[in-house]
Structure 1
Amino acid sequence: MKKKRPVNLNLSTMYFPLTAIASILHRISGVMIFLSLGVFLWLLGLSLSSPDGFLRVSYILDSYIFKFFIWSILSALSYHISSGIRHMMMDFNLLGVTLQIGKFSAQISFFIAIILSILSGVFVW
């Protein structure tokens, strides 16, 4: 008996719902925050090591590349927090567990993250 299974999945034709995209981005933002923690701890250790180390860290923090890095981490943090609150509200059944509420809460979570991302960009620059 031969099963008709797909041999090659074309990922460009697959459709991901908004709730799936929100969940995947929540996980990606968590990994980004976790990995950036090492960079920030290294900078903290360098700044506390000596006055020369503090000057090197202040020079690094003034560069546009690192400002972009800080902005991206703050944006990931704002999305992770807003999406995490959304997940917790759905887990505690404060919002409900329907598809319509899931889509709407994902849209609200994206909107809040965009507003916080813009505010963090103003704060960094």
Structure 2
Amino acid sequence: MGQTVTKKQRPVHLDLRTIRQPVAAIASILHRVSGVITLFALAILLWLLSYSLSSEAGFLKVVDIVDGFFVWFILWGILTALAYHIVGGIRHMIMDLGYCSELETGALSAKVALGVTAFLSVLAGIMVW
């Protein structure tokens, strides 16, 4: 009953911009973000597909929607997110098998995943335009 509780010294203000994350952590966060982007993009793309298959007028409306630089840019972003999610997923599966799970090899595999995604993103940009 007579115990005194001492307050731990914790930072009052933690500035997240000053914390430097390792490349493996950034790759993991980006994998989750790309998964969310892919989920919402899939819903929109399925809606566009359904609308385009509903009738000839629906198809022409979808063609009008998709025919524009802004929409092509969004499609390129969707393809890039999907590519990163696939590459990051393969990276995580390889790590689950016990390979590249050490700190150095994990950082290297994250850099390789980012590099492969950059290449696939450029390839998708060439294909979209």
Question: Normalised by the size of structure 2, how large is the TM-score?
Answer: 0.93
State the Cα RMSD in Å: 0.9
1:103 pairs, out of 89, 97, 107, with: 107
Q: Return the match for 1:7 from 5, 12, 17.
A: 12
**Other-structure match for 1:19:** 24
Query: What pairs with 1:63-74 in structure 2 (closer than 5 Å)?
Result: 63-74=68-79
Count of equivalent residues:
124
Give 1:1-125 correspondences, 5 Å limit. 1-93=6-98, 95-125=99-129
Which stretch of the first structure deviates more once superposed, 25-34 or 43-52? 43-52
- Which amino acid in structure 2 is aligned with residue 16 of structure 1? Q
- Structure 2 gaps of 5+ residues are 1-5
1:83-107 Cα offsets, whole Å, 9 max, x none, are 11011001011x2321010010001
Q: Which runs of 4+ in 1 moved over 2 A?
A: none
SS at the partner of 2:7? coil
Using the alignment, how far apart are the partners of 1:99 and 1:90 within structure 2? Answer: 11
| Inter-partner Cα distance in structure 1 for 2:74 and 2:18 | 33
The question of whether the paired residues in 1 share the 8 Å contact of 2:91 and 2:113 is answered with: yes
* Amino acid of the structure 1 residue aligned with 2:36: V
Give the percent of matched residue pairs that are identical in Structure 1 and Structure 2: 49
